[in-house]
Amino acid sequence: MLQKSPSEEEPFLLPQISSEWQENLVESGQSIMIISDLHYEQTYHHGVWEGEARDWLLGMVRSAKSASLIALGDLGHAWRAVDWKCLTDLVPVHAIYGNHDNMEVLHSARNNDGTRVLAEDGEVRVIGGLKVGFINGIMAKKGKTKVKDGVPRQSAEVFLSAVAKLVGVDVLATHASPYLPEYGSRYHASDEFEVLDQVLTQVNPPLSVSGHLSGPYTLSKLRDTTILRIDSSPAERHYALMDFGTRQIRIMHDHDQVEIGSFAEFS
Ligand SMILES: [Fe+2]
């Protein structure tokens, strides 16, 4: 399994796939687009303007022609109802919140068929024939507030109580990411890493998708689970296209493919 850690900045070599396969993927609409940490804000962050994140996403959605979009939180505070309308007119969206979201607008967002964009903790949605289970948010640190900037913080109990509903899913979708050995000392041990590891162990999904941690992406493996962490922020602009027929995952940077992986072998 090819891997990339957040600390590695050099360009990744592109594995070649046939143009025929790419054309089939695009023409058949057999993919699910996965983003996280879009951070659509009317501000600069570390010198990067984040006010065009929504337009970047709309452009990538139009180009990918995916059947569905899974958004893993930290979409940003700049989202208004009209922005959600623009997006859901293009593609059905299944989202969770992270720790930087406009909760009021996200709660109200609907797809064109009337279904809610925002998934609940422990909710399972069948997307492209795959069972995708969701857990929102990040865990509150000990002694810290349960809501910050309008976004709820979760407890270990919420994460662990979702497990019973999520056993048997093909894809576990969370904002918080599990700790991976390739992160080394970049991240300190935390209750959240520990609880997420328990969730992964008990749910044991073929594929885990998440965000929250910064850096372009990580595609790795933990026990029996393929782990994908993705960063779609204006600084990184990465997303994934998951082919739900072949169970292959293409990692994209803008319009360029940077890696291809699979979770078929674990199903
Ligand atoms: Fe986050």
pLDDT tens string 133-161:
999 999 998 767 789 989 999 999 999 99
User: Could you give the count of Cα atoms lying within 13 Å of 230 in the half-sphere of its Cβ?
Assistant: 31
What percent of the chain is predicted at pLDDT more than 90? 79
Ligand 1 centroid – CA 24 distance (Å): 34
DSSP string, the chain: -----TT--SPPP-----HHHHHHHHHHT-EEEEE------SSEETTEE-TTHHHHHHHHHHHH--SEEEE-S--BS---HHHHHHHHTTS-EEE---SSB-HHHHHH-B-TTS-BSBPPTT-EEEETTEEEEEE-S-BPPTTS-SEETTEEPB-HHHHHHTHHHHTT-SEEEESS----GGGTTSS---HHHHHHHHHHHHH--SEEEE--S-SSEEEEEETTEEEEEE--STTT-EEEEEETTTTEEEEEETTEEEEEEE-GGG-
135 Cα–ligand 1 center, Å: 13
Ligand 1: distance of its center to the CA of 255 in Å?
24
Give me the domain span that covers residue 90: 21-266
Q: Please indicate, yes or no, if residue 3 is contained in any of the structural domains.
A: no
94-133 pLDDT tens trace: 999 999 999 999 999 999 999 999 999 999 999 999 999 9
The pLDDT of residue 25 is above 50 = no
The predicted structure's pLDDT at residue 263 = 81
pLDDT of 21: 44
Which amino acid is located at 262 in the chain? S
Task: For residue 112, tell me if it sits in a domain.
Answer: yes
- Does residue 14 lie in a domain region? no
Residue 10 pLDDT > 80, yes or no? no
How far, in Å, from the CA of 213 to the mean position of ligand 1?
7
Is residue 1 one of the residues assigned to a domain? no
pLDDT at position 244, please?
84
Domain count, the chain: 1
- pLDDT score for 247: 87
Residue 24 pLDDT grade (very low, low, confident, very high; cuts 50, 70, 90):
very low
Q: Assess contact for 175 and 210: CB atoms under 8 A.
A: yes
Note whether 247 and 237 are within 8 A (CB): no
The predicted model gives 15-37 an average pLDDT of 63
Centroid of ligand 1 to alpha carbon of 137 (angstroms): 8
Expressed in angstroms and rounded, the spacing between residue 73 Cα and the centre of ligand 1 is 7
Mean pLDDT, all residues of the chain: 89
* 247-256 pLDDT per residue, tens: 899 999 999 9
20 CA → ligand 1 middle, Å: 37
Q: Is residue 164 classed exposed, middle or buried when 0-12, 13-18 and 19+ CB atoms within 10 A define those classes?
A: exposed
Residue 27 lies in a domain: yes
Does some domain include residue 13?
A: no
Ligand 1 centroid distance, CA of 64 (Å): 25
Q: Has residue 16 been placed in a domain?
A: no
Q: What would the pLDDT profile of 154-201 be if each residue is shown by its tens digit?
A: 999 999 999 999 999 999 999 999 999 989 889 888 999 999 999 999
Evaluate whether 208 touches 228 at the Cβ level (below 8 Å).
yes
- Tell how far the Cα of 98 is from the centroid of ligand 1, in angstroms: 5
Looking up residue 225, the CATH number of its domain turns out to be 3.60.21.10
For residue 194 the two structure tokens come to 């520990």
Closest CA to 153 of 137, 174, 173, 176: 137
Q: Determine the distance separating the centroid of ligand 1 and the alpha carbon of 26, expressed in angstroms.
A: 30
pLDDT at position 264, please?
61
* In-domain check, residue 106: yes
